[in-house]
Amino acid sequence: MTPSFCTIVPPHLLEHLAASENPSVAAAARRTLLADATARTARTRPRPDAPAPGAEAPAEPRRTIHDARNRTALPGAKVRDEGEEPVADATVNRAYTGLGATFALFRDAFGRDSMDGAGLPLIASVHYDEKYGNAFWNGEQMVFGDGDGEIFLDFTLPVDVIGHELAHGFTQYTANLEYFSQSGALNESVSDVFGSLVKQYALGQSADQADWLIGAGLFHPDVQGAALRSMKAPGTAYDDDVLGKDPQPAHMDDYVRTGQDNGGVHINSGIPNHAFYLAATELGGNAWERAGRIWYDVLTGGTLTPDTRFTEFAAATVRAARARYGDAAEIQAVTKAWAAVGVPTD
């Protein structure tokens, strides 16, 4: 199963909104679910071969932004290319900047040349469909909706949403984690980890300064919620009469077994998310420098299989910490973090 269609808003949340007593909220959610189902089957892109290592990262990314003009045909009309001046449309400019911020993290912190390691052009389409309440990576490009204006605002507003979705491309070109059950939850968690790191790097925040929220600023001000997910405290991101309550667990004791959402990939990602938060804050400093480097080494190390489970991933982070840092504080921090969420590392 190639993870070629990955969204930031989980289907269980959209399904909850689709049952809302507010007709406009329900209609927008149903439209988004339908658009997602259509987009999910629009491509059968095979898993790309991993690029040969050794290419040096270019100084700048290669970004192209398109305007879908509230339709679903992709990519839409080209409205801004790499190096061109900002345009009048703020959504276009935010997408352009967010792609650049994601590229900068991977280049500067990890020496990686775009998501594939070989200069993959970064393509995005904005203004997708009407009142579309999601953003997704379809295996080739980013796509952003404008939101419904009642629950969701413009999906280019939070830079970590852009980083999250592009990071699905990073996973696609490295470990290729299947988008189902625990491997799918790891796939989602990796995107949350690197999406959060994109925001922290762009803002110059240390692990202690970061909010560890995914999608802060995405909700309409009337919504009782801070973000889509919290890595610091899974299960607390929102609690709203219309949205419902954040269902993410922070510990394996509360692991959710479900047939929905590809086996709960957006729900159970809270467990590895929290492990990364604990490791990063235990180590302190900039999260991309040590904890992020360990997670990056695991994704690019060639030891993961598409159906990797939490215990296997956790053990791989300990091995990666030892390989890079020796018997030092990094190993203790990573081991302690996984133990705190109930995932053994040996």
The string of pLDDT tens digits covering residues 209-243 is 999 999 999 999 999 999 999 999 999 999 999 99
Of 153, 172, 191, the residue that ends a domain is 172
Question: Could you tell me if 168 and 188 lie in one domain?
Answer: no
Asked if the structure places residue 1 within a domain, the reply is no
pLDDT recorded at residue 4: 64
Question: Could you tell me if 116 and 65 lie in one domain?
Answer: yes
Asked if the structure places residue 346 within a domain, the reply is no
Question: Could you tell me if 157 and 297 lie in one domain?
Answer: no
Question: Per-residue confidence at 42, pLDDT binned at 50, 70, 90?
Answer: low
Question: Per-residue confidence at 47, pLDDT binned at 50, 70, 90?
Answer: very low
Question: Could you tell me if 137 and 218 lie in one domain?
Answer: no
pLDDT recorded at residue 134: 97
Question: Per-residue confidence at 346, pLDDT binned at 50, 70, 90?
Answer: confident
pLDDT recorded at residue 54: 45
Span 54-82, mean pLDDT? 87
Question: Could you tell me if 164 and 189 lie in one domain?
Answer: no
- List CB contacts of 45: < 8 A, sequence separation 6 or more: 2, 4, 138, 139, 140
pLDDT recorded at residue 29: 93
Q: Exposure string (b/e) for 5-28, b if CB count within 10 Å is 16 or more?
A: bbbbbbbbbbebbbebeeeebeeb
Q: Exposure string (b/e) for 210-244, b if CB count within 10 Å is 16 or more?
A: bbbbbbbebbeeebebbbbbbbbbbbbbbeeebbe
Which sequence positions are flagged as catalytic?
165, 266
Mean pLDDT score of the chain: 93
Q: Is 46 exposed, middle or buried (0-12, 13-18, 19+ CB in 10 A)?
A: exposed
Question: Could you tell me if 159 and 189 lie in one domain?
Answer: no
Question: Per-residue confidence at 45, pLDDT binned at 50, 70, 90?
Answer: very low
Of 122, 143, 172, the residue that ends a domain is 172
Domain assignment of residue 230, given as a range: 181-340
H/E element, 6: strand 6-7
Question: Could you tell me if 202 and 325 lie in one domain?
Answer: yes
Span 90-106, mean pLDDT? 98
Asked if the structure places residue 209 within a domain, the reply is yes
Q: Which CATH number do you get for residue 153? A: 3.10.170.10
Question: Could you tell me if 262 and 282 lie in one domain?
Answer: yes
Span 281-299, mean pLDDT? 98
Span of 9-23, 144-158, 186-200, 283-297 with lowest mean pLDDT:
9-23
CA distance 287 to 129: 36
Asked if the structure places residue 233 within a domain, the reply is yes
Question: Could you tell me if 133 and 15 lie in one domain?
Answer: yes
Nearest to 341 by CA among 262, 267, 264, 277: 277
Does the structure show a pLDDT above 70 at 159?
Answer: yes
Q: Is 185 exposed, middle or buried (0-12, 13-18, 19+ CB in 10 A)?
A: buried
Question: Could you tell me if 61 and 142 lie in one domain?
Answer: yes
Of 108, 138, 172, the residue that ends a domain is 172
Question: Could you tell me if 58 and 82 lie in one domain?
Answer: yes
Question: Could you tell me if 89 and 193 lie in one domain?
Answer: no
- The single-letter code of the amino acid at 322 is R
Asked if the structure places residue 147 within a domain, the reply is yes
Asked if the structure places residue 116 within a domain, the reply is yes
pLDDT recorded at residue 59: 61
* Chain center to CA of 66: 21
Does the structure show a pLDDT above 60 at 44?
Answer: no
Q: Which CATH number do you get for residue 189? A: 1.10.390.10
Does the structure show a pLDDT above 50 at 48?
Answer: no
Asked if the structure places residue 259 within a domain, the reply is yes
Asked if the structure places residue 345 within a domain, the reply is no
Number of domains in the chain: 2
